[in-house]
Amino acid sequence: MRRTRLRGAAIGLLAIGLMMLLVACGGSDNGGGNTSTGGSAGASTTSSAKKVGMALVLPCGSSDPWCNQGFNAAQKLASEGVVDLKVTTGAPQDTAGASQVIRQYAQTGKQLVVAYSTWADATNPVATKFPKTNFATFGIKPTSNVALFDEPIYQGAYLAGMIAGGVTKSNTISGAAGQDVPLCHAEMQAFEAGAKRTNPKVKQLTTYVGDWNDAAKSQQAILGQVNRGSDVVLACGGAQATGMAQAIKGKNVTGFGYVSDTSSQAPKNIAGTVIYDPYPYFKKMAEDTQAGKFQPGKLYSFGMPQGGVKLELNPGYSVAKIPASVKAEVAKVQKQIMDGSFKVPYVPTGSGGS
């Protein structure tokens, strides 16, 4: 009997091993196939020798709004022949798991490893072991070979808020974010501040859903906000953006997308998207790596004037009409942000609004 049991356990372990193997194949390097053609086909040996070996580690699939932007920016750089790219999509989101993927790339001699999430805890221990490799991630403090990205999407959210203030009929707008992190907090604060600029009567409801991945729950949270009177919604988070698109389509209200253009999901309802484009970041990091100027690690900052952030309006938006006066005001403020004469208040934590 014991033998049978042992045999059972052995077969079970074998099964789990085989399945883990499949999982590992699914989790890593599946972007490699996509990237191998990235600009290298026609390049000469000399130019290919100059290419920076870059690895991009994404916490989600490359169709997710957040990861899609990172993926496309890196692909663009590869197709321009600047980098020789490897991508991991859907990397484990926990520190130990992410750290393993990052380490793998450092071990295989990549010059620039970009951990495209708030992965400082996962990156820093690897970075100390591979001092010659350049790393980049989202975090608070750069180290000798770990540089940081900033995420000034609040600048675009301010303009979106100005439009929201102009189109709301109920004077209630809302925002739904995955967690109360500085990125989303600042975005929500700026959205509210922008709305109050064009419509001082505006009141904003904000929900932190507490989950970055649950689109169904985000959708329910947003439906609750709409029921409470909100007729313009801003999302912060991939699942929040997809949940929002479904909610605003059903209720026929206005929404603003997050990071990458998702207007195809609700073509009439999405007024615009606060786009975050990591391309200028990747480009500068690759150039610095090539020139040997990457270290010591610094904060790479590309706001609206530098092309890192913009508000992209959706021409198909038809739920409400943006008043001409608001459009003109938005254009004016955008110009002021671009030339530096106006700085959108950055409120990453605490209060500053309602």
Residues 11-30 close enough to bind other proteins by CB under 8 A? 11-13, 15-16, 19-20, 22-27, 30
Question: Is position 215 an interface residue for other proteins (rule: CB under 8 A)?
Answer: yes
Which stretch in 78-86, 198-206, 274-282, 305-313 sits in contact with other proteins by CB under 8 A?
A: 198-206
Task: Determine the interface stretch with other proteins among 47-55, 122-130, 256-264, 336-344 (rule: CB under 8 A).
Answer: 256-264
Out of 117, 123, 260, 269, point to the residue binding other proteins (CB under 8 A).
260
Q: Which of 32, 61, 97, 296 is the binder for other proteins (CB under 8 A)?
A: 61
Amino acid at 273: T
Cβ burial of 211 (10 Å; 0-12, 13-18, 19+) is: middle
**Which position among 65, 194, 297, 308 is part of the footprint of other proteins (CB under 8 A)?**
65
Distance of alpha carbon 107 from alpha carbon 121, whole angstroms: 18
Q: Is 100 in the site for other proteins (CB under 8 A)?
A: no
Neighbours of 223 (CB within 10 A): 18
Among 170, 171, 213, 290, binds other proteins (CB under 8 A): 213
Which span (107-115, 151-159, 205-213, 333-341) binds other proteins, by CB under 8 A? Answer: 205-213
Q: Does 9 bind other proteins (CB under 8 A)?
A: yes
CA distance 322 to 66: 27
Residue with Cβ nearer other proteins (62 or 289): 62
DSSP 8-state class, residue 301: -
CB atoms within 10 A of CB 245: 25
Residues 74-93 that bind other proteins (CB under 8 A): 75, 89-90
- Told to check if 315 binds other proteins by CB under 8 A, we report no
Strand order in the sheet with 52-57: 83-88, 52-57, 112-115, 134-138, 146-149, 299-300
Question: How many alpha carbons fall within 13 Å on the CB side of residue 76?
Answer: 13
